[in-house]
Amino acid sequence: MKRAVHHSFIELVQGDITGMETDAIVNAANERLAHGGGVAGAIVRRGGRVIQEESTRWVQERGPVTVGTAAITSGGNLKAKHVIHAVGPRMGEGDEDAKLKGATLSSLELADEYGLKSITFPAISTGIFGYPLERCAPIMLTNTFAYLQGKTNLELVVFCLWDKEAFHTFQQTLEEL
């Protein structure tokens, strides 16, 4: 499913984010950028240790990445040139919706800062962080939609959803926008 937004597009696909060919893929990260399991682990396994090494260096030089913000590294051996590590909220920590909005917008802003034309997101925080998919989809899509209506060089924002449930939830939400 693809939808035009101003001079850009939002596209939904079901699949494995590590194989996406956009300029950047977004990793649902933790504050220390330790990529052990889930999407983060899969990204490092496919993209190579260089992604973890650059992430470790980022944290050593700048400190932990605050919840609701993002950091960027190379994409290693991935088809994507960059990985944007967005730190989303853990369910129950408080102010989760604002933090998810921040992680989404920080990722989009980093893509623009680095002159990228395309980016792929997962459903941030809906795995082990326990954030409800039904809350995630409207926050991520609404804020992406609003961002693309402003000044941006992004031409394509893809949401790569792992399973059918996530894809259908995002699809229904995008149809309602």
Domain limits, the chain: 2-176
CATH of 2-176 among 3.30.565.10, 3.40.50.720, 3.40.50.2000, 3.40.220.10:
3.40.220.10
Cα dihedral 75/81/84/85 (nearest 10):
0
Which pLDDT band, with edges at 50, 70 and 90, does 77 fall under?
Answer: very high
**C-alpha 147: how far from its chain's center?**
14
pLDDT in tens, 35-70: 887 888 899 999 999 999 999 999 999 999 999 999
* Count of beta carbons in the 10 Å neighbourhood of residue 21: 12
CA 157, CA 31: separation in Å to the nearest integer?
A: 24
User: What is the pLDDT, as a whole number, of residue 59?
Assistant: 95
